[in-house]
Amino acid sequence: MRAALAVLLVFWVGGTTHAGNGSAHRDGKNQFQLRIPPAWKSTQGAETTLIAFESVPSGRLLTVTRVDFPNRRAWRNDSDFYDEVEQGVEKASKAYKRLARKRLKLGRIPVLELTFRRASADYPVIATRFMFFRRYTLIASVAYTIDAYKAHRRSDAKMLASFKPYFK
């Protein structure tokens, strides 16, 4: 299961672009919200991708994916669980190097934020926020070129911080 989370996170497939609305995206079915700036344009993602956006001139991709799997250990605050999630990402990422890791809770929802480098010609830096609901996990990821990470990491941290539970 942890490998499945990592594979969905690391291997993203892009497509054609459409206009983005630059406002809060709310998904009542999957129970999340995310504020997406106007410069980001909607795009087609992989089969398991709920939403995908790209900022073409700046070299960034944003995806939100869902993995159906119970997360009892996250809800029990089992620190080994978070280590295993990171290990799954590490196994799926060639030349993995952690840049930042943080655990928190949004209300009652356990969250893991993870930023790392990997060996990739296209997008070698990825910043993620995992939200571990009881029966599924939502993953928001921003993939960067090196230059884009240096230029936009602070503004995109605010965007990822807006990825929160939404209950209508």
As given in the structure block, the two tokens for residue 117 are 């480098």
User: For residue 46, what pLDDT is reported?
Assistant: 75
Distance CA 144, CA 132 (A): 24
Domain count across the chain: 1
Asked whether the predicted pLDDT for residue 16 surpasses 70, the reply is no
Tokens 């605010």: give the residue: 158
pTM, to two decimals = 0.84
Distance CA 159, CA 142 (A): 10
User: For residue 168, what pLDDT is reported?
Assistant: 61
User: For residue 56, what pLDDT is reported?
Assistant: 74
User: For residue 22, what pLDDT is reported?
Assistant: 58
* Residue 121 pLDDT level (bands cut at 50, 70, 90): confident
Q: What is the mean pLDDT of the chain?
A: 85
In contact, 127 and 160? CB cutoff 8 Å: yes
Asked whether the predicted pLDDT for residue 117 surpasses 60, the reply is yes
Tell me what the mean pLDDT of segment 27-46 comes to. Answer: 88
CATH for 152 = 3.40.1000.10
Helices 2-10 and 79-92, interaxial angle, to 10°?
50
Asked whether the predicted pLDDT for residue 4 surpasses 60, the reply is no
Residue ranges making up the domain that contains 58: 2-165
User: For residue 161, what pLDDT is reported?
Assistant: 94
